[in-house]
Amino acid sequence: MSRARKITSLGDALSQLVKDLGFEKKFAEMQVIAQWPDVVGRQIASHAHAVSCEGGKLFVEVDSASWRQELFYMKADILKRLNHGAGQKIVQDIILTNTRR
């Protein structure tokens, strides 16, 4: 009795493992954090750093009140670009906080 084996790529195997373990959502949230500098650009990323994503909220530390105000007005556009990059609606809100010292 022979068993036919299906060859699976490492990427596909890891994707399936992440799904089987229930880490899909957390993995997607981590990807959103990683793509933050690409979405907002170098100048904004030098003043605002995405630190965590939980429950549809992306927490971003901002180094000044003026940058926090600027990002507040850009929230809708940033949300749209983040979710587009993720291929699904991961982030529903961006919470802007002062940089921890």
Q: Is residue 2 part of a domain?
A: no
Task: Calculate helix-pair angle for 10-20, 24-40, nearest 10 degrees.
Answer: 120
Q: Would you call 70 exposed, middle or buried from its count of C-beta atoms within 10 A (0-12, 13-18, 19+)?
A: middle
pLDDT tens per residue, range 2-14: 566 788 888 888 7
Domain that holds residue 67: 24-98
Identify whether the C-beta of residue 60 lies closer than 8 Å to the C-beta of residue 91. no
Q: Is residue 42 part of a domain?
A: yes
Read out DSSP for 14-54?
HHHHHHHTT-HHHHHHHHHHHHHHHHH-HHHHTTEEEEEEE
CATH number at residue 50: 3.30.300.130
- Our count of domains for the chain comes to 1
DSSP state of 101: -
pLDDT tens per residue, range 80-98: 999 998 888 999 999 999 8
